Structure 1
Amino acid sequence: MSLITREIQLDEEKVVNSFLEWAKVNAPSGKEKSISERLESTLTDMGFSIQFDEAHINFDGDVGNLIAFWNGTDSSIPPLFFSTHMDTVLPTEDLKPVIKDGVIYSDGTTILGADDRAALTAYLEAIQYVQENNIPCGPIELILTVNEQQALQGSRHLDYSKVKSDFGYVFDSSGDVGQIILQGPYSSKFHIEVIGKSSHIGLNPEEGIYAFEIAADIIKSVKVGKIDEETLVNVGLIHGGELSSIIPGNVKMTGEVRCFNKKELNEQLELIFSNALSAAEKYGGRVRNEIEKKYSGFQVDKDSLLAKNAFDAAEQIQVQPWLTKTLGGADTNNLNENNLTCITLGNGFRNIHTHQEHISIKNLVNTVRYTVSLIQSWHNLHKND
């Protein structure tokens, strides 16, 4: 049993204002320097030591990942990290927030950026609360990544030698606070190039091999959407053709497969490529196939100390915890693949990546409360052990 944590009393208005301040910092993927500089100043004032890596040189960004470490009050406790990303999927320049019925929106001309300024705000507000109220805690580390919205590239290229912690949490899910995601999927892109034969529709149409027709058969042969409870398949991009008068001889298709089971993911890819080959041969064409790994899956045991801490911390703030898994990807996938054991937690943003994005003040404030409680509970669990 963990010790009883002290009651967490937050200034709701302060939390909301802090969120709005961070949300207004325009930092779309690859352009995070502005927010990283503000974070460096803020975290230094809070007593953190700051490091940046050079992940951005891999994708032409303007700054690397930010890794910040604070010793806490009790160095005998294993450090605990909290991670989120500094980028937003679209710009938030000239953001005009609107608050209606306890929910924060943009005015519809930009995204809100709650994905994931909500987590960033929660971490900063929670740590400030811990410091101001002299709450005993172990060391805390922040792993703030860049270019997450573009295939998790920041965490993929993170300099893991700079990280001191082994365990942590990533608030980055649309579920309400209390959602505990213990499993995430493997994901791979697939690229299919359909090779037919170009010819002029008016001069020599009989010589053409219509690549679009082959591509259409491939799409019809590929079951897309939710295949089963374990697997998702999508064909998202198709490019081809030159002129309306030319029978297209080349089409490129890109899709992806997500699956909790790596073996089943590979089997799904093999089926797609087999169907593509059959379709091409039917019309006398060819295909070239390529697999591009996006990220690996992860699974954290429900009886692990990290999961127990998540449960205890939720119950301490009278939030109902529940276990789930997701076919969505997050930095959690890459962090776990690189031996940083972590769990994705819900922080309640909605309609992300759209101008209708929003988050309730309740979820925003509860994310701060939950972060404080996770820090307290982590200290208590280790002291009891």
Structure 2
Amino acid sequence: MANTARAINQDRLVNLFLDLARQNTPPRAEKAASDIAFHVLETLGFTCEYDDAGEKVGGNVGNLIAFKKGSIEGATPIFFSAHFDTVEPTPGLEPIIEGDIIRTDGTTVLGADDISGLAPIIEAMAILHEEQIPHGDIQLLLTICEEIGLVGAKHLDPRRIKAKYGFVLDAGPPVGSFVYSAPTQDTFEVWIRGRAAHAGAQPEDGISAIHVAAKAIARMQIGRIDPETTANVGIIHSGTATNIIPFECYLKCESRSRNPEKADAQRELMLSIFREEAEAVGATVEFKVEREYEGYVLGLDDEVLKIGREAAESIGMEYIPRVTGGGADANVFNLGGVPTTVLGCGMTNIHRHDEYVKISDMVASTQLVLAITETAARRSEKN
């Protein structure tokens, strides 16, 4: 049984996107956007509540958990998810519309990561309600603090997830793509400690922590290691004045791979290089390692991807299974035992000030959410 792509209220979708984008919602400060979603979803017949994740992370609001009872008994229950936070504060952001494109003036990010996921989910639920489209149980898991390590999802009690399969709208285009494999990521902090000395009078007495760090980094392969693996040195802090040999250098690095053993190996290689360079000149080094999230691999025949494929093809959309080098809340949900895939949205140039989204992609995302909802409604919970 095929669906046709549902007609979308494009003006309402765009206005919702703009309303959400104008809120200043960096991690731990998502309340303004979440209150908008809470109010709209309640008018659409959802039971809405916040969990205590905000309290646990020092934020001003928790994850928003919304539920709507299905009209089809025994249909496969599903959830949709997106996150409220953006990678940086966006005070005074005023989106600019140019034809099919929404962008900023270039002074801030747009927040299409992840408003281009949030707005289509909410608009799809509005159409579902207005047109009385038959559906199974639907849950929305709208999270906080995703951009700082999937923190909101990590603090969401997995026992509160009532769905059998999940769909997270939080990847770049094309719409119609479904992520079946995502990486494991480790972050590690490094403190190199040398010996301070006057840089002009007694440089021979000093051990430069910056120099140790530089020599170590110069030995490392950074960026793309292989098709599955990447590494990065993202933060370096050191020094107090030009006339002082720097005693300490702090670095924050990461390794990630869709092969967990490779993620471990890359991390240990980088740590060993820091250790060797420090020991070579009599400096010391200290590490703190944190597993940010575990990777996942879905089988291409897994039911969650079958639902995605049937839904996409039913509305004439190309189905594209893909892998990714980035993590998303789906990593946490899969680890918790709920098969979950990430959908490509319209967000482009994410985490950059030239970020933009295509309105046509958001319309397509909304149609895909509806198609997934209708496809799941035709499948038995026993599948």
TM-score, length of structure 2 as denominator length = 0.95
Q: Deviations over 1:212-252 (max 9, x none)?
A: 22111110111100000011000111111232222112111
Q: 1:366 to 1:311 in 2, by over 3 A?
A: same
Rounded Cα–Cα distance in structure 2 between residues aligned with 1:379 and 1:329: 29
Match of 2:285 among 284, 287, 290: 287
Structure 1 residue matching 2:378: 3-state secondary structure: helix
Match of 2:269 among 250, 268, 271: 271
Report the equivalent of 2:214: 216
- Structure 2 unaligned segments of length 5 or more: list them: none
Q: Are 1:144 and 2:142 counterparts?
A: yes
Structure 1 residue matching 2:264: 3-state secondary structure: helix
Deviation at 1:358, TM superposition (A): 1.1
Rounded Cα–Cα distance in structure 2 between residues aligned with 1:163 and 1:257: 30
Q: Deviations over 1:44-87 (max 9, x none)?
A: 22111122111122321101111110002113113100000112
Q: 1:293 to 1:11 in 2, by over 3 A?
A: same
Match of 1:363 among 361, 364, 368: 361
Rounded Cα–Cα distance in structure 1 between residues aligned with 2:87 and 2:190: 27
Greater alpha carbon shift after TM alignment, 220-229 vs 130-139:
130-139
Rounded Cα–Cα distance in structure 2 between residues aligned with 1:16 and 1:211: 51
Q: Deviations over 1:163-190 (max 9, x none)?
A: 2113110011112111111010000012
Rounded Cα–Cα distance in structure 2 between residues aligned with 1:331 and 1:115: 13
Q: Are 1:121 and 2:119 counterparts?
A: yes
- Structure 1 unaligned segments of length 5 or more: list them: none
Letter in 2 for 1:233: A
Deviation at 1:206, TM superposition (A): 2.4
Q: 1:252 to 1:383 in 2, by over 3 A?
A: closer
Provide the identity percentage: 35
Report the equivalent of 2:32: 34
Report the equivalent of 2:156: 158
Rounded Cα–Cα distance in structure 2 between residues aligned with 1:90 and 1:316: 38
Alignment of 1:167-178 (within 5 A): 167-178=165-176
Rounded Cα–Cα distance in structure 2 between residues aligned with 1:359 and 1:243: 44
Report the equivalent of 2:331: 333
Deviation at 1:162, TM superposition (A): 2.1
Greater alpha carbon shift after TM alignment, 195-204 vs 371-380:
195-204
Greater alpha carbon shift after TM alignment, 21-30 vs 234-243:
21-30
Report the equivalent of 1:83: 81
Q: Number of paired residues?
A: 383
Report the equivalent of 2:322: 324
Report the equivalent of 1:260: 258
Rounded Cα–Cα distance in structure 2 between residues aligned with 1:244 and 1:21: 47
Q: 1:17 to 1:327 in 2, by over 3 A?
A: same
Rounded Cα–Cα distance in structure 1 between residues aligned with 2:88 and 2:243: 37
Letter in 2 for 1:268: Q
Structure 2 residue matching 1:381: 3-state secondary structure: coil
Match of 1:196 among 186, 194, 197: 194
Match of 1:14 among 12, 15, 18: 12
Q: Are 1:59 and 2:57 counterparts?
A: yes
Letter in 2 for 1:124: I
Structure 2 residue matching 1:313: 3-state secondary structure: helix
Rounded Cα–Cα distance in structure 2 between residues aligned with 1:14 and 1:212: 53
CA contact (8 A) 1:182 1:301 kept: yes
Match of 2:308 among 307, 310, 322: 310
Match of 1:227 among 215, 225, 228: 225
Letter in 2 for 1:303: D
Letter in 1 for 2:365: T
Rounded Cα–Cα distance in structure 2 between residues aligned with 1:95 and 1:242: 35
Structure 1 residue matching 2:76: 3-state secondary structure: coil
Rounded Cα–Cα distance in structure 2 between residues aligned with 1:192 and 1:341: 35
CA contact (8 A) 2:134 2:377 kept: yes
Greater alpha carbon shift after TM alignment, 201-210 vs 182-191:
201-210
Structure 1 residue matching 2:148: 3-state secondary structure: coil
Rounded Cα–Cα distance in structure 1 between residues aligned with 2:352 and 2:333: 27
CA contact (8 A) 1:167 1:306 kept: yes
Q: 1:383 to 1:161 in 2, by over 3 A?
A: closer
CA contact (8 A) 1:55 1:159 kept: no
Deviation at 1:109, TM superposition (A): 4.1
Structure 2 residue matching 1:254: 3-state secondary structure: strand
CA contact (8 A) 2:76 2:379 kept: no
Rounded Cα–Cα distance in structure 2 between residues aligned with 1:110 and 1:281: 43
TM-score, length of structure 1 as denominator length = 0.94
Rounded Cα–Cα distance in structure 2 between residues aligned with 1:54 and 1:384: 32
Greater alpha carbon shift after TM alignment, 139-148 vs 287-296:
287-296
Report the equivalent of 1:351: 349
Letter in 2 for 1:152: L
Report the equivalent of 1:107: 105
Q: 1:106 to 1:243 in 2, by over 3 A?
A: closer
CA contact (8 A) 1:182 1:324 kept: yes
Rounded Cα–Cα distance in structure 2 between residues aligned with 1:93 and 1:288: 37
- After superposition, the CA RMSD in angstroms is 1.8
CA contact (8 A) 1:166 1:339 kept: no
